[in-house]
Structure 1
Amino acid sequence: MSDLLRAPAEIKYAEELDWLESVDDNPKPFSWRLSPKMVRLFVLGSERSDGLDREIAPKWFGDRSFVERSIVTLASDRGLLLIGDPGTGKSWLAELLAAAISRNSTQVVQGTAGTTEDHIKYSWNVSMVIAKGQSRESMIPSPIMTAMETGTIGRFEELTRSTSDVQDALISILSEKYISVPELDSDGGENIVFAKPGFSIIATANSRDRGVNDLSSALKRRFNFVRIPVVTNKKSEAEIVRFRTEELLRRHQIELDVPPTLLDVLLQSFADLRASAESAASDDEKLESALSTAEQIGVLEDAILHSNFFGARELTARTLASSLVGSLARRSPEDLAILNKYLHGVVEPRSKDKGGVWPEFLDGGRDAIATLS
Structure 2
Amino acid sequence: MQNVQRLPAETLHATELAALRKADQGQKPTGWQLSPRMVRTFILGSNNEPVQGTTISRKIYGNDAVVERAIVTLMSQQGLMLVGEPGTAKSLLSELLAAAISGQSTLTVQGSAGLFEENIRYSWNYAALLKDGPSLDAMVPGPLFHAMQQGRLMRFEEITRCPTEVQDNLIPVMSDRILQIPELKDSDEAYMLSQPGFNIIATANLHDRGVNQMSSALKRRFNFETLQPISTKKQKTELVMTQVNRRLQQDALDIQIDQDTTELLITVFDELRSGKVSGLAVTSPTTLLSLAEAINVAYNAAISSHYFGDQQVSAAHLPAFMLGTIIKDNEKDRECFDDYIRVIKRKRADEPQWQAFLDGCQNHG
**TM-score (normalizing by structure 1):** 0.92
Of Structure 1 and Structure 2, the greater helix share is in 1
Whether 1:350 aligns to 2:347 is yes
Q: Match for residue 18 of structure 2?
A: 18
C-alpha distance after superposition, 1:242-291 (max 9, x if no partner): 110221221122222423321221111111011119xxxxxxx5424221
SS at 1:246 equivalent:
helix
Q: Match for residue 297 of structure 1?
A: 295
Equivalenced residues, count? 360
% identical equivalent positions: 40
Please say which of residues 290-299 and 97-106 is displaced more in the overlay. Answer: 290-299
One-letter code of the match for 1:318? A
Shift in Å, 1:196: 0.8
Q: Match for residue 197 of structure 1?
A: 196
Preserved CA contact (<8 Å) 1:351 1:362 = no
Please give the alpha-carbon distance, in whole angstroms, between the structure 1 residues aligned to 2:131 and 2:64.
54
Please give the alpha-carbon distance, in whole angstroms, between the structure 1 residues aligned to 2:209 and 2:335.
28
Preserved CA contact (<8 Å) 2:49 2:55 = no
C-alpha distance after superposition, 1:102-145 (max 9, x if no partner): 11000001100011111222111101111111101111111011
Please give the alpha-carbon distance, in whole angstroms, between the structure 1 residues aligned to 2:123 and 2:259.
52
Please give the alpha-carbon distance, in whole angstroms, between the structure 2 residues aligned to 1:56 and 1:84.
26
Aligned with 2:361 (options 352, 360, 365): 365
Q: Match for residue 282 of structure 1?
A: none
Preserved CA contact (<8 Å) 2:27 2:35 = yes
Please give the alpha-carbon distance, in whole angstroms, between the structure 1 residues aligned to 2:50 and 2:311.
41
SS at 1:266 equivalent:
helix
Q: Match for residue 279 of structure 2?
A: none
SS at 1:209 equivalent:
coil
Q: Match for residue 128 of structure 1?
A: 128
Please give the alpha-carbon distance, in whole angstroms, between the structure 1 residues aligned to 2:206 and 2:273.
17
Shift in Å, 1:315: 1.4
One-letter code of the match for 1:84? G
Please give the alpha-carbon distance, in whole angstroms, between the structure 1 residues aligned to 2:50 and 2:78.
29
**TM-score (normalizing by structure 2):** 0.94
Preserved CA contact (<8 Å) 1:90 1:204 = yes
Closer/same/farther in 2, CA of residues 348 and 160 from structure 1, 3 Å limit: same
Closer/same/farther in 2, CA of residues 286 and 271 from structure 1, 3 Å limit: closer
Please give the alpha-carbon distance, in whole angstroms, between the structure 1 residues aligned to 2:284 and 2:115.
31
Q: Match for residue 175 of structure 2?
A: 175
Q: Match for residue 250 of structure 1?
A: 249
1:322-341 to structure 2, matched below 5 A, reads 322-341=320-339
Please give the alpha-carbon distance, in whole angstroms, between the structure 2 residues aligned to 1:51 and 1:146.
32
Shift in Å, 1:324: 1.4
Q: Match for residue 40 of structure 1?
A: 40
Shift in Å, 1:48: 6.5
Structure 2 alignment gaps of length 5 or more: 277-282
SS at 2:295 equivalent:
helix
Q: Match for residue 218 of structure 1?
A: 217
Q: Match for residue 104 of structure 1?
A: 104
Preserved CA contact (<8 Å) 1:10 1:100 = yes
Preserved CA contact (<8 Å) 2:16 2:55 = no
Q: Match for residue 91 of structure 1?
A: 91
Preserved CA contact (<8 Å) 1:343 1:366 = no
Please give the alpha-carbon distance, in whole angstroms, between the structure 1 residues aligned to 2:230 and 2:14.
28
Preserved CA contact (<8 Å) 1:29 1:35 = yes
SS at 2:212 equivalent:
coil
SS at 2:30 equivalent:
coil
